[in-house]
Structures are given as C-alpha cells and as structure tokens.
C-alpha cells in the first residue's frame, strides 16, 4: 500500500469519526441516525482495508497473496472471461429494464401514486439512454 493510500484511508477514518460524532450530537430524528450510519460505514470500510493490507503483507502470507494477484491478472485478461462478464452485464441490464417496465405497469394497475409510476418508467428510459450513449462512445473509441 502506497503512502498516499494510507493517508487517504486515515482521512476516511477521520471523516467517518467526525460523521459519527455529528450524528450523535445532533438531535434530528431521521438525519442524525443517517449521518451516524454513514460515518460508521466509512470508518469500518477504511479499517477493514488497513486490516486486509496488514494481513497480506505479513511474511507468512506474502507468497499466497502474490499468487492470488497473479491469478487475478490472468483472469482479468482472459478473452473468454471478458466476454462472459460483458454478457452477464448485458443480461443483468436487460433484466433490470424489464423489471422497471413491469413494475411501472403493475403500479399503474394498482392505481399507485403517479410519481412512483413515473420514477419506474423514467429509470428504465434513463438506463436505456445511458446504455446507448456508452455503446456509441465505445464504438467510436475502438
């Protein structure tokens, strides 16, 4: 872990502790709990990164960690795995699109609030437009 990474993680811990203290000190019903939970999550994440780095840099674990990173590099560059990840992403995106439209349809049948119906349909449309923009960008890039 580079020195800058350690500084950033220490900053995350500091910000997390500040958020936790702020969440405890203010007395707004919903937001004080939300701020405390954000601080707790940020602090726990940074601490777990420090622990993971410490574990992997211990002398008895260095070889296993190097082997693991070597296998990950091979896995990330394997063309078949790349195609499988792309296909999995596409199937997941398509499923989410279908679920958004089905959710909007069911909400309309159940006479839900128009805002909920609009949000579900809007999420599907925004996802489709974003995928189209990313696809065109990648086509130009290649």
The gap from C-alpha 130 to its chain's centroid, in whole angstroms, comes to: 17
**Domain tally, the chain:** 2
Q: Are 24 and 71 found together in one domain?
A: yes
Task: Report H helices in the chain.
Answer: 3-25, 29-57, 62-77, 79-109, 114-141
Q: Are 19 and 71 found together in one domain?
A: yes
Q: Are 96 and 121 found together in one domain?
A: yes
Identify the domain boundary among 49, 76, 103: 76
Share of the chain above pLDDT 90, in %: 40
Q: Are 13 and 70 found together in one domain?
A: yes
Q: What rounded mean pLDDT belongs to the chain? A: 88
Q: Which residue range forms the structural domain that includes residue 38?
A: 3-76
Closest to 36 (Cα-Cα) out of 27, 17, 23: 23
Q: Are 119 and 136 found together in one domain?
A: yes
CB 11 within 8 A of CB 23: no
Residues 49-98: tens digit of each pLDDT: 999 999 998 999 999 999 999 998 988 888 888 888 888 888 888 888 88
Residues 97-118: tens digit of each pLDDT: 888 889 888 888 988 888 888 8
Residue 67: both structure tokens together = 């082997």
Largest CA distance in the chain: 63
Distance from C-alpha of 13 to C-alpha of 18, rounded to nearest angstrom: 9
């Amino acid at each position: 872990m580079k020195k800058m990474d350690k500084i950033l993680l220490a900053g995350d811990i500091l910000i997390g502790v500040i958020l936790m203290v702020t969440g405890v000190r203010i007395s707004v019903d919903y937001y004080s709990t939300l701020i405390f939970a954000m601080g707790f999550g940020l602090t726990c994440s940074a601490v777990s990164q420090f622990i993971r780095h410490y574990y992997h840099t211990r002398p008895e674990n260095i070889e296993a960690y190097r082997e693991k990173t070597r296998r990950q590099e091979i896995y990330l560059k394997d063309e078949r795995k790349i195609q499988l990840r792309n296909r999995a992403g596409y199937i997941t995106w398509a499923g989410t699109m279908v679920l958004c439209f089905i959710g909007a349809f069911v909400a309309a049948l159940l006479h839900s609030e128009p805002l909920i119906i609009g949000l579900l349909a809007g999420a599907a449309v925004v996802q489709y437009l974003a995928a189209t923009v990313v696809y065109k960008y990648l086509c130009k890039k290649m």
